[in-house]
Structure 1
Amino acid sequence: MPQTIRALGKKPARHDPQTYRLGAALRAHLITPPPSADWAPGVTWPVWCNDTIGCCTQVSVASAIRTWTGVAQAPVLLSDAQVIANYSAESGYVPGQAATDQGGVEIDVLNRWVKDGYARPGQPGRDYLTAYGTVDPHDRSGIMRAIASLGGVYIGVQIPNYIMQSGGDWVINESGDQTIAGGHALWLHGYDADWLHFNTWGERRRMSWDWFEVFCDEAYGLVSRQNWLGTTGFSPDHEDCDALIAEMRAA
């Protein structure tokens, strides 16, 4: 697949030491992860303009909302215009002015989601993230637990050129071009023993666990009371997340 129909857009990771670390809290408050989970089986994913614009940090926001609401409510699908409006609000992108298409920093995207929210369809027309915290990409059980309990994981990866130049599963390819093309934001919505499941550039994809551990440079577990938790604070699998939220907010 030609590189010209794939855009990236994740700026270098900025690791804030004050960001809540989810690993221990996930083990304390949430389930032992099952062998596999997939919260978006069979979903058809839009490109959301990430073929030409570096809006992947907002495509991942839209993917999270679609995943959560598809399980816990009725599916909410952001339009291209809403994804671009959210990208513009966070990054300063001005449609039609290519020089302003600079991508986004994931932690800034998440902070704005918590504080100011992002546009979404329907009422109330604004989507707010409740809380988020980091998950160590090398903590496989932590990544599995976050996906299984929180409905997914928001990650950033560094993309080698061989991924830009090919289709199919994302696996270690020692003979491919290892030059890093840039950073990319993704929403992981599932896993099994061999693969992590995600969408990008309008397609369903899988990445191997070893590829993930080599190329992922940031990962966040997100808590959405608006989209994922019921009014009593329970997830679709009836986990009580209120204690987790209280701990995250008190940190």
Structure 2
Amino acid sequence: MQRKLGCRPAERRAGQPRLSGLRMMARKAPARLVRDHIDPAPLLLGNDRVGDCTSVGLGNHIRATAALAGFQVAVTEQDALHFYSLSTGYDPVRPVTDQGGVEVDVLACAGRAGYALTTQTFYPLWGTAEEGDFNTLRLIVAGLGAAYVGVQLALADQAPGVWDTLSPGDQRPGSWGGHCVLVWDYAGTADDDLVTLLTWGTRQKCTWRWLRSRLMEVHGVLWPQLMLPGGLYPTGDDLEKLRAENAAFLGAALVC
């Protein structure tokens, strides 16, 4: 199977929503989060042919969230490609426009225009976390279903098996390129404990030391239409703060 990349270098926008001020982020994340009994059912959605991983990540985030609630949402390749075009300017008749996406701009576009499926359109709320704050990253995974992240893949990551910095080959982050993946669960918090990523229609294992080496941005995404009430889900003041920051950012951002 071909594997396309499509996450452009991480950028920051003035006023973009942040997760650091939420009360839920002051908690200690679970020491392990194993979801082997739940199938997030990630789909490829064209990411073998075009660099639409930033769009695919959102489509699969919707599916992962639904799976945690005990049902599933149909997302088609056409849906993902449509949003890829909307959020990045990709034109399928002009291959030169297949340049990938900037995650914050893709998220802003989804917040403004929605992620349209055949029967409904989903509008996310989202916020950014510091990429070096792994407690917040784990809280995002535990509380919001999955973390929407950008990584700098190395040529060594083209080999099959667990992604790890101890594997043979060129380990320079970015020597292969940028990619958008979802962080789904983790077996522990030690450097060599395994983390499950959702990418290219499957579950890819990596170590925490690998993720620390490759990570360039971290975002939490929630879908108000697919609420996941629970101990780590934002409620009350946290939810209102996130709504307010998203509204303020969309009012200033010229996207979609």
Shorter-chain TM-score tier: 0.7 to 0.9
1:98 maps to 2:95: yes
SS in 1 for 2:180: strand
Q: Structure 2 matches for 1:123-162, cutoff 5 A?
A: 125-129=120-124, 131-162=125-156
- Code of the residue aligned with 1:46 in structure 2: it is L
Q: Structure 2 matches for 1:136-215, cutoff 5 A?
A: 136-164=130-158, 166-173=159-166, 175-179=168-172, 180-193=175-188, 194-215=193-214
**Residues of 2 paired with 1:68 and 1:163: CA distance?**
27
CA contact 2:40–2:63 (8 Å) conserved in 1: no
TM-score normalised by the chain length of structure 2: 0.84
1:116 Cα deviation after fit: 0.9
CA contact 2:152–2:178 (8 Å) conserved in 1: yes
**Residues of 2 paired with 1:153 and 1:239: CA distance?**
13
**Residues of 1 paired with 2:201 and 2:233: CA distance?**
31
**Residues of 2 paired with 1:188 and 1:168: CA distance?**
17
**Residues of 2 paired with 1:184 and 1:114: CA distance?**
21
CA contact 1:7–1:51 (8 Å) conserved in 2: yes
**Residues of 2 paired with 1:90 and 1:153: CA distance?**
20
SS in 1 for 2:225: coil
Deviations 1:59-97 (A, max 9, x none): 100110001111225201311111111111111111242
Q: Structure 2 matches for 1:105-120, cutoff 5 A?
A: 105-120=102-117
1:17 Cα deviation after fit: 4.6
Deviations 1:195-220 (A, max 9, x none): 22112122211121111111110000
CA contact 1:66–1:76 (8 Å) conserved in 2: yes
Q: Which moved more, 1:109-118 or 1:239-248?
A: 239-248
CA, structure 1 residues 240+136, in 2 after alignment: closer, same or farther (shift >3 Å)? closer
SS in 2 for 1:206: strand
**Residues of 2 paired with 1:134 and 1:212: CA distance?**
17
CA, structure 1 residues 7+84, in 2 after alignment: closer, same or farther (shift >3 Å)? same
TM-score normalised by the chain length of structure 1: 0.86
Aligned residues: 238
Q: Structure 2 matches for 1:237-248, cutoff 5 A?
A: 239=233, 241-248=235-242
CA, structure 1 residues 250+127, in 2 after alignment: closer, same or farther (shift >3 Å)? closer
> What stretches of structure 2 of length at least 5 have no aligned partner?
246-256
CA contact 1:172–1:211 (8 Å) conserved in 2: yes
**Residues of 2 paired with 1:90 and 1:227: CA distance?**
22
1:174 Cα deviation after fit: 6.2
1:39 Cα deviation after fit: 5.3
**Residues of 1 paired with 2:163 and 2:29: CA distance?**
23
- Name the structure 2 match of 1:232: none
- Code of the residue aligned with 1:187 in structure 2: it is L
**Residues of 2 paired with 1:170 and 1:228: CA distance?**
32
| Alignment equivalent of 2:54, drawn from 47, 57, 75 | 57
SS in 1 for 2:127: strand
> What stretches of structure 1 of length at least 5 have no aligned partner?
230-234
